[in-house]
Amino acid sequence: MSPKNQSAIPDDASPLVRRLGRSILLTYDEVKFLETMQVNQAEVDKGDEFIHDGDPLRLTFLVRSGWVMRYKITAAGRRLIIGVSLPGDFIGLHVNFNNSAIYSAAALTKSSLALIEPVRILEIHRRFPVLASGLEWMTVRHANILSEHKVSLGARTAAQRILHFFLELWTRLEQVDLATAKGFQLELTQEQIGDCMGLSTVHVNRSISRLCKENLLRIDKGAVSFPQLSRSISFADFDKRFLMEFSTRPGLPEPINQIASN
Amino acid sequence: MSPKNQSAIPDDASPLVRRLGRSILLTYDEVKFLETMQVNQAEVDKGDEFIHDGDPLRLTFLVRSGWVMRYKITAAGRRLIIGVSLPGDFIGLHVNFNNSAIYSAAALTKSSLALIEPVRILEIHRRFPVLASGLEWMTVRHANILSEHKVSLGARTAAQRILHFFLELWTRLEQVDLATAKGFQLELTQEQIGDCMGLSTVHVNRSISRLCKENLLRIDKGAVSFPQLSRSISFADFDKRFLMEFSTRPGLPEPINQIASN
DNA sequence: CGTATATTTGATATCCTTCAAGGACGGTGG
DNA sequence: CCACCGTCCTTGAAGGATATCAAATATACG
Among B96, B102, B152, B258, the strongest candidate for a mutation testing the A interface, having the largest count of A CBs within 10 A, is B96
Cross-chain CB nearest to A80 (options B93, B151, B261)? B151
For the CA of A94 and the C1' of D4, the distance in angstroms is 47
Q: Which helix (H) or strand (E) holds A62?
A: strand A60-65
Q: What pLDDT, on the 0 to 100 scale, is given for residue A249?
A: 46
For the CA of A68 and the C1' of D14, the distance in angstroms is 36
Three-state secondary structure call for residue B174: helix
CATH of the domain spanning A157-236, picked from 1.20.1250.20, 3.10.580.10, 1.10.10.10, 1.10.260.40: 1.10.10.10
Nearest CA-CA partner of A150 in B197, B53, B54? B197
Q: Which residues contact B40 (CB under 8 A, 6 or more apart)?
A: B114, B115, B116, B117
Which nucleotide is nearest, taking the CA of residue A206 and each C1'?
A: D10
State the fold for domain B158-243. Arc Repressor Mutant, subunit A (1.10.10)
Q: How far is A197 from chain B (nearest CA, A)?
A: 7
For B120-160, write each residue's pLDDT tens digit. 999 999 999 999 999 999 999 999 999 999 999 999 999 99
Band of residue A233 on the pLDDT scale cut at 50, 70, 90: very high
For the CA of A205 and the C1' of D11, the distance in angstroms is 10
As a residue count, chain B comes to 262
User: Is pLDDT at A258 greater than 70 in this prediction?
Assistant: no
| CA–CA gap between residue A84 and residue A184 (Å, rounded) | 15
Nearest CA-CA partner of B175 in B10, B62, B35, B23? B23
Nearest CA-CA partner of B184 in B219, B227, B133, B213? B219
User: Is pLDDT at A96 greater than 50 in this prediction?
Assistant: yes
User: Is pLDDT at A113 greater than 60 in this prediction?
Assistant: yes
Nucleotides of D under 7 A from a protein CB: 7-13, 17-22, 28
B79 is near strand C: CB distance < 7 Å: no
Cross-chain Cβ contact A80/B154 below 8 Å: yes
Consecutive 10-residue averages of pLDDT for chain B (262 residues): 64 94 93 97 96 95 98 96 98 90 96 96 93 95 98 98 98 96 97 98 98 96 96 97 75 37 32
Q: What pLDDT, on the 0 to 100 scale, is given for residue A61?
A: 98
Class for domain B14-155, per CATH?
A: mainly beta
Cross-chain Cβ contact A246/B97 below 8 Å: yes
Residues of B in contact with A254 (CB under 8 A): 118
Residues of A in contact with B137 (CB under 8 A): 94, 97
Q: What pLDDT, on the 0 to 100 scale, is given for residue A2?
A: 46
Q: What pLDDT, on the 0 to 100 scale, is given for residue A179?
A: 96
- Average pLDDT of the segment spanning A18-40: 94
| CA–CA gap between residue A135 and residue A118 (Å, rounded) | 13
| CA–CA gap between residue B245 and residue A132 (Å, rounded) | 22
For the CA of A159 and the C1' of D8, the distance in angstroms is 20
For A136-187, write each residue's pLDDT tens digit. 999 999 999 999 999 999 999 999 999 999 999 999 999 999 999 999 999 9
| CA–CA gap between residue B160 and residue B163 (Å, rounded) | 5
Q: What pLDDT, on the 0 to 100 scale, is given for residue B157?
A: 97
Band of residue A248 on the pLDDT scale cut at 50, 70, 90: low
pTM of the model: 0.93
Q: What pLDDT, on the 0 to 100 scale, is given for residue A246?
A: 80
Beta bridge partners of A79: A73
Residues carrying CATH 1.10.10.10, chain B: 158-243
Q: How far is B260 from chain A (nearest CA, A)?
A: 5
Residues carrying CATH 2.60.120.10, chain B: 14-155
Nearest amino-acid residue to D8, taking CA and C1': A189
B210 is near strand D: CB distance < 7 Å: no
Cα dihedral A196, A202, A206, A209 sign = positive
Q: What pLDDT, on the 0 to 100 scale, is given for residue A4?
A: 55
